[in-house]
């Protein structure tokens, strides 16, 4: 039993380390959480979710990079969020309303994920109240980031927005294709090329 417990905990060290950065779980609680996790691997360009389908839970990124996007009225892909190591990704809108997703979640790189089914998550909150604290904090952090982004969109020029994003996330900017970065920042790939050319 003890050996089983230890081996289970050690299966998901990245996730447990991340949770324990914000709240404290006992070994028994860690075991319970790990017991509800399903690992998932995605190849590059593979989809985790497609518009029209239901979203069933949250994904923690152990390794890799994903994007959440929808198709806008000009039939372009509009990226709303990226997910990299130690981030959760899901379509919260679909999960909250119970409606089919309007968006797509796709792997930009080959990715290792940990899936937590929504039903399991809510059941776990009863047994592991600190896990609910953790997800409350995650939701707040995501909200604060989204509000900051709205502030930037309204109050920075496109060039300022690009510069501040690259200063904040220099490694990430090297990791994603240029047209995806342009989509996230809300301008055309051509505009981004001109900005990059200007840089040096």
d(CA 191, CA 144): 28
100 belongs to the binding site for a second copy (CB under 8 A): no
Q: With CA atoms as reference, report the closest residue to 180 among 68, 91, 72.
A: 68
Query: What is the nearest approach in angstroms of a second copy to the Cβ of residue 101?
Result: 12
* CB closer to a second copy out of 6 and 144: 144
DSSP letter for each residue of 126-174: HH-HHHHHHHHHHHHHHHHHHHHHHHHHHHS-HHHHHHHHHHH-HHHHH
* CB closer to a second copy out of 142 and 173: 142
Q: Which of 11, 28, 146, 190 binds a second copy (CB under 8 A)?
A: 146
129 belongs to the binding site for a second copy (CB under 8 A): yes
Segment contacting a second copy (CB under 8 A): 9-17, 35-43, 44-52, 133-141?
Answer: 133-141
CB 196 within 8 A of CB 178: yes
Query: What is the nearest approach in angstroms of a second copy to the Cβ of residue 186?
Result: 5
Segment contacting a second copy (CB under 8 A): 5-13, 57-65, 70-78, 104-112?
Answer: 70-78
The Cα-based distances of 174 to 61, 98, 165, 169, 178 in angstroms read: 18, 36, 12, 9, 9
* CB closer to a second copy out of 1 and 150: 150
133 belongs to the binding site for a second copy (CB under 8 A): yes
Q: Which of 93, 109, 118, 158 binds a second copy (CB under 8 A)?
A: 93
Calculated CA dihedral for residues 4, 85, 80, 109, nearest 10 degrees: -100
β-strand partners of 88: 60
* CB closer to a second copy out of 86 and 147: 147
d(CA 5, CA 171): 36
17 belongs to the binding site for a second copy (CB under 8 A): no
What does the DSSP 8-state code read for residue 176?
S
Residue showing tokens 């309007």? 102
Q: In the window 71-90, what residues touch a second copy (CB under 8 A)?
A: 72-74, 78, 80-81
Return residues touching a second copy (CB under 8 A): 70, 72-74, 78, 80-81, 92-93, 96, 125, 129, 132-133, 135-136, 139-144, 146-151, 153-156, 186
């Amino acid at each position: 039993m003890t050996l089983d417990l230890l081996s289970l905990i050690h299966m998901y060290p990245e996730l447990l380390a991340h949770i324990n950065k914000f709240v404290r779980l006992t070994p028994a609680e860690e075991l319970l959480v790990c017991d509800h996790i399903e690992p998932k691997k995605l190849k590059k360009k593979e989809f985790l979710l497609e518009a029209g389908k239901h979203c069933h839970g949250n994904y923690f990124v152990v390794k890799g990079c994903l994007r959440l996007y929808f198709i806008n009225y000009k039939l372009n892909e509009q990226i709303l969020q990226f997910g990299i190591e130690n981030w959760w990704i899901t379509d919260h809108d679909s999960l909250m309303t119970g409606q089919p997703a309007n968006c797509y979640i796709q792997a930009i790189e080959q990715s290792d994920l940990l899936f937590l089914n929504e039903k399991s998550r809510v059941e776990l909150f009863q047994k592991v109240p600190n896990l609910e604290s953790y997800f409350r904090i995650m939701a707040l952090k995501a909200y604060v980031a989204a509000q900051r982004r709205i502030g930037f969109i309204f109050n920075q020029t496109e060039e300022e927005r690009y510069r501040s994003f690259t200063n904040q996330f220099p490694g990430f900017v090297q990791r994603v294709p240029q047209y995806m970065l342009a989509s996230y920042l809300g301008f055309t790939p051509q505009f981004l090329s001109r900005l990059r050319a200007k840089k040096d």
